[in-house]
Amino acid sequence: DAGVIQSPRHEVTEMGQEVTLRCKPISGHNSLFWYRQTMMRGLELLIYFNNNVPIDDSGMPEDRFSAKMPNASFSTLKIQPSEPRDSAVYFCASSFEVAGTGELFFGEGSRLTVL
Amino acid sequence: TQLLEQSPQFLSIQEGENLTVYCNSSSVFSSLQWYRQEPGEGPVLLVTVVTGGEVKKLKRLTFQFGDARKDSSLHITAAQPGDTGLYLCAGANPGGYQKVTFGTGTKLQVIP
């Protein structure tokens, strides 16, 4: 079975450019999470969706970040305009259970470098 | 914001040694998970603990959930080079929706 699929795996862009990261969760999972990982701040939750509805976006750094989940099999995280401090590895994860003990399944991440 | 502090941040030990990693918070969690992450990959779940005081064993790894469900520990017996990686604890908040917050991480290196 396919796991969580993220694209692109690597992106290098210049400051000011728009960046779109994509995620396909595991089929049948009803929760989707976007995390950002850096050496300084570790793994930070940006936003999570349940049944395609954003539940908590309090971790989204600022208005330059937006996330959508138009259907159960696709989500995007957009940064516009990008800045060097956005450089990080962005992970998407999905889960089946609504509450409690559901295991998170992570994609391989998208490594973003903003010059 | 729920914070999960892990200690130590870094650990470099010889093969065969034992070690313990701690995960502490002032918040109560409905469950706590431990993940291991290797370079270039996403975290992979090792175990989930749900009940206060619960102890789970996974081969040479022993996980314990604190009685008050605010803290946890991971003990590795006779560490092997294959145990090298970043260990992350993660707490799920009580309530109707699963919001999982990750700890600060412990980077383990086991030297052959």
Return the residue of A nearest to B49 by Cα. A101
Pairing mode of beta strands B106-111, B10-14: parallel
Q: Do A45 and B31 touch (CB under 8 A)?
A: no
Do the Cβ atoms of A30 and A98 come closer than 8 Å? yes
Give pLDDT tens digits for A15-29.
999 999 999 999 999
Among partner residues A35, A98, A103, which is closest to B45 by beta-carbon distance? A103
Specify the range with the lowest mean pLDDT, choosing from A90-94, A99-103, B48-52, B100-104: A99-103
Q: Do B102 and A95 touch (CB under 8 A)?
A: no
Residue closest to A106 by CA, chosen among B109, B35, B23: B35
Cα(A46)–Cα(A43) distance, integer angstroms: 9
**More confidently predicted of A97 and B22:** B22
Amino acid at position B4, single letter: L
Q: Do B90 and A104 touch (CB under 8 A)?
A: yes
Give pLDDT tens digits for A37-75.
998 889 999 999 999 999 889 899 889 999 999 999 999
